[in-house]
Structure 1
Amino acid sequence: ESIRAEVARQVGDGVRTDDEIVAYVAERFGGQVLLVPRATGLDALVWILPPLITAALLGALWLAFRRWQAPSDATTTRRPLLVALALVVVVGVGGGVLVARQSGQRLPLQTLTGGIEDSTASLLAQARLASGTDVASAIELYDRVLATDPDNVEAITYRAWLVMLSARQFDEDLQRQAYGASVAAFGRALELEPSYADALCFLGIVVFRDGGDAESSREFLTRCLAGAPPAEVKGLVESLLVEVEAALD
């Protein structure tokens, strides 16, 4: 209830975007609160019990109506009772399985019918959460953003950054391909938003670490710091800039 109340307050205030609200909830209450119950094992009861209870209530009402209409007889009473019980089981289990299957097709943070959770802001929030533990899923989420919003500078930039980080684990040929693609993507992001600090920071890091171009790196890193990047990025860039300056001396 406290999570629902907090989300309602954030939405009501209207001062945070969808992704900011999701990130806030994950930070305050833990990322596990955003997970969807599994559709198997004991977790399946979460989906089956509500429709089962509803079906039981409907069956009881139907049985009471039949008893009111028909004379009380052992045979006539037992038959509607069996039918009612069968309907309760079929409707309850069937409804629960349907909902569980639908939930199993969703990623964390997604709703049964889509809606706000399928928005660009929500997909970006999911990608940020996934980037620290599941790079492949994060890249896929950025791809989904770009499929509907090809000029989204955050998706372009962070997808390129994750691709470059992943490529460093493989052979030089793949690294060169990733380097060219990443630099081009950062350039595209800066065409769309020339002062975007994240793209400037990542471009400065990549051209120095992977391209060995200290001169260009210094330019990009200096512009990055002028754009007031996040604190964690700022510290990384400042320490790297010291290395870049030393390489130029």
Structure 2
Amino acid sequence: MRILLVEDDLELQKNLKQHLLDANFTLDVASDGEDGLFQGCEHNYDAGIIDVGLPKLNGIELITRLREQEVDFPILILTARDSWQDKVAGLDAGADDYLTKPFHPQELIARLNALIRRSAGKASPLVHNGPFSINTSTLEVKKSGHLMSLSSSEYKLFEFFMLHLGEVKSKTVLIEHIYDQDFDLDSNVIEVFIRRLRKKLDPDNQLGLIETLRGQGYRLIPLARCEQGTEDKPDAR
């Protein structure tokens, strides 16, 4: 999942960046509100973390401007102020949750995961599709209860598919949500990871797990539909 972090405290920014990368998030960083506004409007994110006390454009104004531009990814605000007025102002501006400094990085990650799940219509960290399940808290993938071994990038791709089950996603969208802004959008890496996922999760193509729609992208098939045999066999290339 791709996150926008807007934090002007460079030491905290560095610390949070490392924790988020360790938790398998893809991350873009801004150090002031104007850069945060540009990046938030320019790229597709799964969630944002925005500090209230930003230079150039404070966090409340940044969130207000993002929502005015119909940017709708969930936002977690960070504030060093412990007054209820600041929390209310952030939520009224369009934030979805808040944390008061100091906080434990694991709490931030847990809240972030919850926001992303809710935005995808999922209440639990466990997401199921047929024999497959992922745990967005532990980053585990299982098939019929057996733990599967996926690389970091394979997990990111499969998690995104599982949270958007049945939705067609283009290669550009997949890259934008899984990799940072410096990634080569012309790369064929998505096809490589799609092939790897198929080989690991559905090696005999018995389930037709990932469907290719020519000229459109890819879709993770809801397996109940496949099991009923009512759909054509997906293109396995």
Higher relative contact order (CA 8 A, sep 6+): 2
TM-score > 0.5, shorter chain as reference: no
Higher helix share: 1
Q: TM-score, normalised by structure 2?
A: 0.28
**Highest CA radius of gyration, 1 or 2?**
1
Higher strand share: 2
